[in-house]
Amino acid sequence: MDPNARLRQEHREPTVSKAAQDHRTQAAPLEFATPEEMIRHDRERTEVPEAVGERLAHEVGAEPAPTGRPWWRRWLG
């Protein structure tokens, strides 16, 4: 096994035509030159569930009003 071999991942795309639905889904190989590239691809496909933001908003809304200028306002200028 060559550890330096390019990383390959079978990526299954859903078939489009009705006829094709009876056959196996097509497999288009994705190739990544480095692990970081593969990880980056995976990260871009990984969404944060909306419920997390909703829960955060709920808790932030219950927080006392911040005094001074918040860091996130300074960051945005």
Residues that bind another protein (CB under 8 A): 1, 3-5, 7, 9-12, 30, 34-61, 63, 66, 68, 70-76
Q: Nearest approach, Cβ of 2 to another protein (angstroms)? A: 8
Q: Nearest approach, Cβ of 18 to another protein (angstroms)? A: 18
Nearest to 12 by CA among 30, 25, 31: 25
Shorter beta-carbon distance to another protein: residue 22 or 44: 44
Neighbouring residues of 30: CB distance < 8 A, sequence distance ≥ 6:
8, 9, 10, 11, 41
- Report the C-alpha gap between 70 and 77 in whole angstroms: 11
Shorter beta-carbon distance to another protein: residue 22 or 59: 59
Structure tokens at 57: 């908003």
Shorter beta-carbon distance to another protein: residue 23 or 72: 72
